[in-house]
Amino acid sequence: MSEVFVSYARSTEDQARKIAEALRALGYDVWRDDELPAHRAYADVILERLAASKAAVVVWSAEAVKSQWVRSEAERARSDGKLVQLSLDGAPLPMPFDQIQCADLSGGLDSPGWKRVVESLLELTRKGDGQVGDKPAPDAAAAGVSICVLPFANMSGEREQEYFSDGVSEDIITDLSKVSALSVVSRNSAFQFKGKHVDVRQVARQLGVSHVLEGSVRKAGDKVRITAQLIDAARDSHVWAERYDRQLTDIFALQDEISQSIVAALKLRLLPEERRAIQRRGTASPEAYDLYLSARQLFVSGNTNQAGHEAIIRLCRRALEIDPNYAQACALLAQNEATLHWRYGRSGEDGLATAERAVRLDASLAEPHAVLGRYMMELGRQADSEQEIETALRLDPESFEVNMNAGYVRFRQGRQGDAVRHFERASHLSDASFAAAGMLLSAYVGVGDPDGVRRAAQMTVSRVEKAIAEDRLNAQALGFGASALAALGDKSRAREWVQRALLIDPDSRSMRYNLACALSRHLQDIEDALGILGPYLATASAGEVRHARVDPDLDPLRSDPRFEEMAAAAERRVAGAA
């Protein structure tokens, strides 16, 4: 576990290295981004290490203040209650960090401020008898109990059954997260180990947890077998293990039993309301649940094209035919109806009525509020939009759908710094979503952060390459990928992807828009950008026209009178149709 995470801007790398060395000399385990593994996405490692740390030292400087990357890390540390600030040059800090104590290190490590930094770190990381780096005594009252639920292995012999084993794992994570006395690693951090042979002790050290749960699922017909074992990582010993052979109709009772057995094995107290929360399921129908898990797995894969969204809609509608009160299925249906409407210009069900229905079924679900927030923005009802987005973020700040919708709303409002924060979180929550990474790239362009642009572009290309390896006809992925390649300076390959995308799906409006962004901002090809953008704006919705008006990727076109003529004509068209 990295006890101390160090965040800094590139221009102060030498000072950050010295600070890290000084902290290591005091006995701290320190991590900064010089230790990034070559095989993993930058953003994923950063967020994982930050989450696993006990304290985060933010090294402020004039450049760091401008860096959305540093500000994002500082905000995460602040919200987690582990922020330690120091300033190298006295640059004014952004809100809300200017309201928090910041040590002055303008005189180097001999400054009086260094003592304050060390004292703050000692308070945040102190364990046992107070010595830095001590391991807590197993029976210490202050010792926190934490767990990582590794993704259960699919033993069904059919890859297409993986959605079920993933769903069981996710539900156990969700159930255990309702136990106030237990700290649970997020799904995304746990699922990075999916399909890998891992050393449980190494996983525990990497994520900073005391226990690890691993298991397997075998589903065949109407029967299911689940095996699970809980391991104390410090002792490398089994705390609890069990094998269950049940009918599929017993799946909900089985999940309750597993979660409560883990709580009992950890000798934790389960409050009555927590027990009720664990036992509360979205549906009583195993068939509807199975359909929802299949749809959910397809959605969180992040590589969904138009056909994939249509498949999700069919699965959710069938689940709702079986159980009309299944709020989670209704919320997922609303999101995908809305995505087809916004991204592909599909007419008919646009997600609004479905989202309102999902809220009526369960107002505590965050996702339909997020969909409504984006809709209210499209309708020009800014106050209502803000209320719905804030409600969604309050209900579930760790939801992929919530952060994506919040990011789009902030992007449209021109609040690119806030958009960066939400798209950054969405990119972490779905490690395959090229759309989240692509929007993060555009938001970083908007705030003028070249390091952020480079990192987001690398992430986008990596995810797009995986998507087109699975589906070479995924023009939507190619559209995002072309922008990212161009941002990285690989202009020849970017142009190849532009041509491939246009050949594969020339009628995809959303893809054409992304290609126009690539040609405009990163390839500086004004003529081709206008040629592709013209047909898009000729049929764009009011919201899409507003998006084009604020998108920083199209800034190179704004001085061209042809762009203004296209945009103005589109605005007159949508105003007349209103």
- In the chain, what are the domain boundaries? 4-125, 145-281, 473-578
C-alpha 259/C-alpha 278 separation (Å) is 8
What is each CA distance from 470 to 304, 345, 438, in whole angstroms?
Answer: 11, 25, 19
Q: Which residue has the higher pLDDT, 239 or 142?
A: 239
Q: What would the mean pLDDT of 450-469 be, rounded to a whole number?
A: 90
189-203 CB burial, b ≥16 within 10 A, e <16: bbbbbbeeeeebeeb
Q: Which residue has the higher pLDDT, 33 or 189?
A: 189
| pLDDT tens digits along 165-174 | 888 898 898 8
Say which range, 102-106, 302-306, 491-495, has the weakest mean pLDDT.
302-306
**What integer best gives the mean pLDDT of the chain?**
84
Provide the pLDDT for residue 350. 86
Q: Closest by alpha carbon to 456, among 439, 473, 472, 470?
A: 439
Structural tokens at position 170: 């996710």
Indicate the SS3 state at residue 365.
coil
Is the pLDDT reported for residue 363 higher than 60? yes
Provide the pLDDT confidence category of residue 44 given band limits of 50, 70 and 90. low
Does residue 55 contact residue 5 with C-beta atoms inside 8 Å? yes
C-alpha 46/C-alpha 7 separation (Å) is 10
Structural tokens at position 367: 């996702």
Structural tokens at position 371: 């969909």
Does residue 176 contact residue 190 with C-beta atoms inside 8 Å? no
Provide the pLDDT for residue 237. 86
Amino acid at 490: D
Return phi, psi of residue 47, to 5°.
Answer: -65, -35
Q: How do strand 83-87 and strand 182-184 relate by DSSP bridges?
A: unpaired
Provide the pLDDT confidence category of residue 295 given band limits of 50, 70 and 90. very high
| pLDDT tens digits along 192-229 | 888 888 888 888 887 778 899 999 999 888 889 999 99
Question: How many CA atoms within 13 Å lie on the side-chain side of 419?
Answer: 25
Provide the pLDDT for residue 347. 74
Which architecture characterizes domain 4-125 according to CATH?
Answer: 3-Layer(aba) Sandwich (3.40)
Is the pLDDT reported for residue 31 higher than 70? yes
Note every long-range contact of 233-242, with CB atoms under 8 Å and residues 24 or more positions apart, other chains counting: 233/200, 233/201, 233/203, 233/204, 233/205, 233/209, 234/135, 234/138, 234/204, 234/210, 236/200, 236/201, 239/211, 239/265, 239/266, 240/265
Indicate the SS3 state at residue 224.
strand
Does residue 272 contact residue 266 with C-beta atoms inside 8 Å? no
* pTM of the model as a whole: 0.69
Provide the pLDDT for residue 297. 82
Is the pLDDT reported for residue 131 higher than 60? no
**Torsion sign over Cα 115, 116, 120, 126:** positive
How is 267-320 classified by DSSP, letter by letter?
T----HHHHHHHH--S-S-HHHHHHHHHHHHHHHTS---HHHHHHHHHHHHHHH
Provide the pLDDT for residue 296. 87
Residues in the chain: 578
Q: What would the mean pLDDT of 453-481 be, rounded to a whole number?
A: 90
Is the pLDDT reported for residue 22 higher than 90? no
Provide the pLDDT for residue 35. 52
Provide the pLDDT for residue 118. 81
Domains 4-125 and 145-281 share a fold: yes
Provide the pLDDT confidence category of residue 126 given band limits of 50, 70 and 90. low
Going by CATH, does the domain composed of 145-281 fall within 3.40.50.10610? Answer: yes
Q: What would the mean pLDDT of 496-518 be, rounded to a whole number?
A: 89
Looking at the DSSP bridge assignments, the partners of residue 229 are: 214, 241
Is the pLDDT reported for residue 507 higher than 90? no
Percent of the chain with pLDDT over 70: 93
Count of other CB atoms within 10 angstroms of residue 443: 28
Provide the pLDDT confidence category of residue 478 given band limits of 50, 70 and 90. very high
Provide the pLDDT for residue 34. 59
C-alpha 230/C-alpha 243 separation (Å) is 12
Say which range, 8-12, 124-128, 376-380, 473-477, has the weakest mean pLDDT.
124-128
Residue showing tokens 């246009």: 502
